[in-house]
Chain A
Amino acid sequence: MKATYREALNQALREEMRRDDRVFLIGEDVAYYQGAFKVSKGFLEEFGSRRVVDTPITELGFTGLAIGAAMAGLRPVVEVMTFNFAILAMDQIVNNAAKIRYMSGGQLSVPIVIRGPGSAAHQLAAQHSQSLEAWFCHVPGLKVVAPATPHDAKGLIKSAIRDENPVIFIEAQLLYPMQGEIGDGDYTIPLGVAEVKRPGTDVTLIAYSKMLLVALEAAEKLAQEGIQAEVVDPRTLRPLDLTTLAASAKKTGKVVVVEEGWPFAGLGAQIAESLYRQVFDYLDGPIVRVTGRDAPMPYARDLEDAAIPDADQVVAAAHQVLYRT
């Protein structure tokens, strides 16, 4: 079956809400407006305002409230209109959602999903264009998921909802209209399992979310030069499926990590460090990172294009690890 990323999420959320009355959707404009990006289209009609809850524009308040609801046994799905606004709820996410289980010595748990689009779209400028996954990945107690395809989005959001832990689920505005094959019916994809999206032997490209598409495009270009790139999508960023990533790195010995976020202390640095620890002796040279540029996102289209990794940069990085520069 073909579906867009948006439709895949809509289906999955709908199926989970039908399956389990404890699941409810809460966020700004999720009900009457049907979601800022129309992910919750038709939900209000089907589930009513008890389970599809519009909120005022107070991320701290409604995120914290949803965490409380999870502590009391519900399974909230919080839609942040974009992850930029989740910064307002950072205290709730980091100090409460992530730590309540630990601080209580395991007495309480917080089965919540906080989802919405991260990363840049087009010309939304600095405050609406950023990739914050590294912030969340830093925190023990959180799980972080960033699917790139409609199939993965559906299977992973279901697993996230059924998980007993707080899960940060990062989508992307530019991915919502992307179409792809999705599985039939009620399937799940376990959290913490990466997938080889394109097999290859010469170089490993690790990329997630929107950057997976960039990496696949780069792999296609590399193939025209006779370079077989293996593209691996971690899909879940925490816990990271190091086994799959390391197996690919071990095979090729050459690794490029692609991320849209800022370079300093970005997630790619962590992925690289994890790989160094595991497969150092199999690497033919330093891991190369392709990242967003080290500046707030500019508005001007030309500058914005320059700030975000593209396939040519990934190809150049592949050449670098292959010593073909």
Chain B
Amino acid sequence: MERAHLVHLYTQMLLIRRFEERTAEMYALGKIGGFCHLCIGEEAVAVGAVDALRPDDYVFSAYRDHGHCLARGSDPKRVMAELFGRVTGLCKGKGGSMHLVDAERRFMGGYAIVGGHLPLAAGVAFAVKYRGGDQVVLCFFGEGAVPSGACHETLNLAALWGLPVLFLCENNRYGMGTPVERAVALYSDVAQNAAAYGIEAGRVDGMDVLAVRDAVGKAVEQVRTRQRPYFLEAVTYRFLGHSMADPAHGHYRTKAEVDEAKKRDPVLLLRTRMLSERLATEADIKRIEQEVAQIVREAVEFADASPVPPVTALEEDVYTS
């Protein structure tokens, strides 16, 4: 991989990391409300996967969607403004943290009913196939969605009708506080759930952005050319709590477990590799850090300075006239 490309991936991951850190801070200051799910620890999956897409491909996400949206290239200012509930946000302040949408970038949205967006992704893939297009739909979801009826109905339909959708399961080990082995019967190899429908499946280290990039790249290519769905499990870990409402660990996991996982921090892994393989210097890293800090600062400033939506907007966008 070219050096510039690596720097790009690193910058993206760092942007997500710093963005989420500032989001936590803004949440604590009361600038952001509601449920807010951060993806610190899972940046490599978002960045590696989206990097493998064409601009005309589609992306679906669940409620932990900030990273996916930023990875897709959405303006951090408008993302932060959406979290702030401002009229300049991607969705004019009507969606919020869990429902980021950037239609221009074919980021089709974050959905907050677990498993509920999988049929939508298959539907977009259906439309692609109906029109004879060659776009791919990338659908992120957590391992918590795997046992849902929506997931299984969708896997069946996608396999049955040969829909070009890549199901990307971010297995961060916990559905809120319930570990995968207490939620999914075939937990040791989650992708086996797709195998039951004859869907080709794979597994990748979700902390290694290059591995993700590589695996998703191959899967996307296969989906695009064979017009068949693919199921990829990316094994990752959530460094923080399920949402802003709970601590990094709690009664359901130990601090030691979290600390152990943090040793494979995806941002650190890539940085170490770039430095050790002399693909970047300390000065480069420092410069990138400054650039990202600048972007995030501007995003917060933009959001904070933006007006709240007028109350007259409340009943707008309910119907298309």
A24 and B116 contacting across the interface, CB-CB below 8 Å: no
Contact A105 B124 (CB under 8 A): no
Asked if A107 and B91 make an inter-chain contact with CB atoms under 8 angstroms apart, the answer reads: yes
- Taking the complex as formed, is B317 at the interface, i.e. its CB lies under 8 A from any CB of chain A? yes
- Asked if A73 is at the interface of the complex by the 8 Å CB criterion, the answer is yes
A24-80 residues at the B interface, CB under 8 angstroms: 24, 50, 55-56, 58, 60-74
Q: Are B89 and A61 closer than 8 Å at their CB atoms?
A: no
A251 close to B (CB within 8 Å): no
Q: Is the CB of A105 within 8 A of B116?
A: no
Q: Kindly list chain B residues whose C-beta atoms are within 8 Å of the C-beta of A164.
A: 319-321
- Cβ-defined contact, B124 with A103, below 8 A: no
Contact present for A68 and B157 (CB under 8 Å): no
Distance to closest chain A CB from B167 (angstroms): 14
How far apart sit A96 and B153, CA to CA, in the bound complex (Å)?
16
Closest Cβ–Cβ distance, residue B140 to chain A (whole Å)? 15
A68 and B121 contacting across the interface, CB-CB below 8 Å? yes
Report the Cα distance A58→B159, complex, angstroms.
14
Tell me, in angstroms, the Cα distance from A290 to B123 when the chains sit together.
41
Please, how many angstroms separate the alpha-carbon atoms of A68 and B117 in the complex?
Answer: 9
Contact between A61 and B153, CB atoms less than 8 A apart: yes
Q: Which residues of A contact B319 (CB under 8 A)?
A: 101, 141, 143, 164-165
Residues of B within 8 A of A177 (CB): none
Q: A68-B124, A73-B127 are in contact. Are A60 and B108 (CB under 8 A)?
A: no
Which residue on chain A has the smallest CB distance to residue B112?
A95
Interface positions, chain B 82-105, Cβ under 8 Å from A, are 89-95, 99, 101-104
B260 within 8 A of A: no
A106 within 8 A of B: yes
* Cβ-closest chain B residue relative to A50: B130
* Docked pose: A244 CA to B93 CA in angstroms: 36
On chain B, the residues within 8 Å of A101 by CB distance are 317-320
Smallest CB-CB separation from A94: which chain B residue? B113
Q: For residue B95, which residues in chain A have a CB less than 8 angstroms away from its CB?
A: 103-105
Bound Cα distance A64, B165 (Å)? 15
What is the size, in residues, of chain A's interface with B at 8 Å between Cβ atoms? 40
Contacts of B128 in A (CB 8 A): 72
Cβ-based interface call for A130 (8 A):
no
Instruction: Give the residue of B92, B99, B157, B316 whose beta carbon is less than 8 angstroms from that of A58.
Output: B157
The reply to whether A92 and B119 contact each other, CB–CB distance below 8 Å, is yes
Inter-subunit contact A69/B153 (CB<8 Å)? no
Q: Is the CB of B122 within 8 A of A65?
A: yes
Interface centre among A50, A56, A71, A73 (most CB of B within 10 A): A71
Tell me if A285 counts as interface (CB < 8 A to partner B): no
Given contacts A50-B130, A95-B113, contact A61 B316 (CB under 8 A): no
Residues of A within 8 A of B121 (CB): 68
Q: Is the CB of B317 within 8 A of A64?
A: no
Contacts of A70 on B, CB cut-off 8 Å? 123
Instruction: Tell me if A69 and B130 are in contact (CB < 8 A).
Output: yes
Tell me if A96 and B111 are in contact (CB < 8 A). Answer: yes
Residues in B neighbouring A69, C-beta threshold 8 A: 123-124, 126-127, 130
Nearest residue (CB) in B for A108 is: B103
Tell me if A91 counts as interface (CB < 8 A to partner B): yes
Enumerate chain A residues within 8 angstroms of B109, measured Cβ to Cβ: 100, 103-104, 108
Q: How far is the CB of A9 from chain B (nearest CB, A)?
A: 23
- Tell me the residues in window 210-256 of chain B with beta carbons closer than 8 Å to chain A beta carbons: none
B120-A96 in contact (CB<8A): yes
Chain B proximity of A225: nearest CB distance (Å): 43
* 12 additional contacts (CB under 8 A) given A69-B123, A107-B91: A50-B130, A65-B122, A67-B120, A68-B121, A72-B128, A96-B111, A96-B117, A105-B101, A105-B317, A106-B320, A108-B103, A164-B319
Interface residues, chain B, CB within 8 Å of chain A?
Answer: 58, 89-95, 99, 101-104, 108-109, 111, 113, 116-128, 130, 149-150, 153-154, 156-157, 160, 316-321
